[in-house]
Amino acid sequence: MEVVPALNRLLRPVAALPAQISISDVADRLLMPEHKAFLSLPVVDEAGRPLGLVSRATLQDIFMQRFGRDLWGRKPVVEVMNPAPLLVSLSTSLEEAARQITAQLQSPIRDDFILVDPQGLYCGLGTVLDLLKAMESRVAQRNRVLRKALVDLKESQTQLVQSEKMASLGQMVAGVAHELNTPLGYVKNNVQLLQDLTRPLLELADAQAALGDCLHNPACAEEDLAQALQAATRARELAAPELLADDLGQLFGDTQYGLQQIGELVLGLKDFARLDRAMSEEVDLNECIRSSLLIARTSIKDKAEVRLQLDELPRIACAPSQINQVLLNLLTNAAQAMDDYGCIQVKSWSDGSQVFVSVQDSGRGMPPEVLKRIFDPFFTTKPVGQGTGLGLSISFKIIQDHGGNIRVASEPGRGTRFLVSLPRMQADDMKRSA
Ligand SMILES: Nc1ncnc2c1ncn2[C@@H]1O[C@H](COP(=O)(O)OP(=O)(O)OP(=O)(O)O)[C@@H](O)[C@H]1O
Ligand SMILES: [Mg+2]
């Protein structure tokens, strides 16, 4: 908690002047060393109530006049004092005092201000200079507090973004694990089947080898040869290689297809999660679209058909994993917006200065009151536990950091279209503009 410097730290306990004191005497007192710091001296009545302030400037004006001292010197000071001095109660807060004083301050400053106790009795003088110093240190203290709050805020924002990333990473990993499981399952089955089917073939090979040995061995007895022949014939009947050929071909083909799918998924995952080498990398956004689609496949496949219309694009400097994060969020949002099986159309194209990607869905769309809030952090219409509402606000920030733009058009019942545009920057332009 911040310590509030009390107003009494500004209090200068200057002895007040009685109302009857002469102007000359006041002038002499003002010259005394202990009064050097003051622009004025206070005048009070017998009870100690402040009557006014007699300022150095006023006295100076009088004594500069010809015969000023003779004409005015003996008169009581009340005749030349400021009868409406600025009174500030000691119980006032520093801010309130500063507000009151600055509101009435005249330039040049001719007077100090009088500090009074709650009964209105004179306590001492305060100077504007002291007040300004106190306010300055207060502002510096506030600044320090604010700066710390800003650092804390930035830190928690980074943590939030990080945990959102982790959450989507978790979802993604679960999705990919599920995707891997299907081909892995039938590759395993096929390998088991292949093992079962090839066992009689191996037995046939053994029997035929034994028969061959017998035939080549002149010492082999007739009886043994007959036995070997019989065993080889039985093994051939059991193995029935002519019937196996088709099955084996099919099984090997399926297994290869499964392994290829597993390979693609792993590659997609690697592409998707690659660590960005700053923004110096030049990337084909179509690759980002493809790898994001691969990752989003589990969440999309039961919800919508994906139609791609990708033009050839110039490579641009960007952080691909961040762009992937944006695309994944747009694709997931599109899939989650489907009430019935629908369509997600992803297009890419470029012009002389920008590269564009649009993601359009035939989902439920958004009413204007939702549409205007979708980029707000934590805004979500999804049930608790399903959406954090950070996806689009993070996407917005990422695209903004890339110098691009993200726009949206939506119609309830018809669908939504997000359009992302990124500047056609090459790595060299990036370095030059950095
Ligand atoms: N394609 C879309 N169609 C309809 N509504 C959408 C679409 N995209 C976003 N919205 C709306 O915008 C809201 C905010 O989206 P955002 O991606 O920021 O968060 P979320 O998807 O709710 O949560 P998270 O992304 O953290 O899973 C969504 O809750 C939804 O109401
Ligand atoms: Mg989202």
Nearest ligand, measured from the Cα of 358: 1
pLDDT at 55: 93
Question: Based on the structure, what is the number of domains in the chain?
Answer: 3
Nearest CA to ligand 1 atom 20: 389
**Domain endpoint, select from 271, 298, 331:** 271
Among 219, 253, 271, give the residue marking a domain's end: 271
Residues 204 and 224 in one domain: yes
pLDDT at 419: 98
Burial environment of residue 36 by CB neighbours within 10 A (0 to 12, 13 to 18, 19 or more): exposed
The conformation of residue 335, written as its DSSP 8-state character, comes to H
- The DSSP output letter for 100 is H
- Domain hosting residue 166, numbered range: 160-271
Please check whether residue 140 lies inside any domain of the structure. no
User: Which residues neighbour 413 within 8 Å (Cβ) at sequence distance 6 or greater?
Assistant: 364, 365
Asked if residue 135 is part of any domain, the answer here is no
Boundary-marking domain end, from 224, 252, 271:
271
Name the residue of 374, 390, 410 whose CB sits within 8 Å of the most ligand 1 atoms, as the mutation to test its pocket: 374
Residue 136 lies in a domain: no
CA-proximal residue: ligand 1, atom 12 (nearest)? 374
Nearest CA to ligand 1 atom 13: 380
Q: What angle do CA 48, 50, 54 make, to 5 degrees?
A: 125
DSSP-assigned letters across all residues of 346-413:
EEEEE-SSEEEEEEEE-S----HHHHTTTTSTT---SPTTT--S-HHHHHHHHHHHTT-EEEEEEETT
Distance CA 207, CA 101 (A): 114
Q: What is the pLDDT of residue 272?
A: 66
Statement to judge: residues 255 and 111 lie in one domain? no
Could you give the 3-state DSSP secondary structure of residue 323? helix
Q: What is the pLDDT along the chain (434 residues), one digit of tens a residue?
A: 344 446 888 899 999 999 999 999 999 998 898 898 899 999 999 999 999 999 999 999 998 988 988 899 999 999 999 999 999 999 888 888 888 888 888 778 889 999 999 999 999 999 998 998 988 988 899 999 999 999 998 888 878 777 776 776 676 676 677 677 778 888 898 899 899 989 999 999 999 999 999 999 988 898 999 999 999 999 999 888 888 888 888 889 888 988 988 887 787 777 666 655 456 678 999 999 998 888 788 778 889 999 999 999 999 999 887 898 899 889 999 999 999 999 999 999 999 999 999 999 999 999 999 999 999 877 899 887 677 788 898 889 889 989 999 999 999 999 999 999 999 986 666 555 55
Q: How far is the CA of 365 from the centre of ligand 1 (A)?
A: 10
pLDDT of residue 385: 67
Q: Are 373 and 282 members of one domain?
A: yes
Task: Give domain status of residue 378, yes or no.
Answer: yes
Q: What is the pLDDT of residue 299?
A: 79
CATH number of the domain bearing residue 109: 3.10.580.10
Among 370, 392, 416, say which to mutate for ligand 1: greatest number of ligand atoms within 8 Å of CB.
Answer: 392
Residues with Cβ within 8 Å of 333's Cβ and at least 6 positions away in sequence, in order, are 391, 392
Give the pocket of ligand 1 (CB within 6 Å). 329, 333-334, 337, 361, 363, 366, 370, 374, 379-382, 387-393, 416
Query: What token pair was written down for 266?
Result: 């792993």
Do 88 and 229 sit in the same domain of this protein? no
Same domain flag for 14 and 122: yes
CA of 390 to the centre of ligand 2 (A): 7
Please indicate, yes or no, if residue 138 is contained in any of the structural domains: no
Residues 265 and 281 in one domain: no
Specify whether 237 is located in the same domain as 377.
no
Question: What single DSSP character describes residue 79?
Answer: G
Amino acid at 258: G
Q: How many CB atoms lie within 10 A of CB 365?
A: 18
CB distance 49 to 122 below 8 Å:
yes
Which domain CATH number covers 376? 3.30.565.10
Residue 153 counted as domain residue: no
- 174 and 241 in a single domain? The answer is yes
H or E element at residue 166: helix 128-216
17 and 46 inside one domain: yes
Is 93 inside a domain boundary?
A: yes
139 in Cβ contact with 24 (< 8 Å): no
Task: Note whether 291 and 426 are same-domain residues.
Answer: yes
**Is 154 within the bounds of a domain?**
no
Whether residues 267 and 319 share a domain: the answer is: no
Probe residue for ligand 1, chosen from 306, 333, 372 as the CB with the greatest number of ligand atoms within 8 Å: 333
Q: Are residues 217 and 294 in the same domain?
A: no
CA of 418, nearest ligand number:
1
Question: In the 3-class helix/strand/coil scheme, how is 3-28 assigned residue by residue?
Answer: CCCCHHHHCECCCCEECCCEHHHHHH
Let me know: does 416 contact 363? Beta carbons within 8 Å: yes
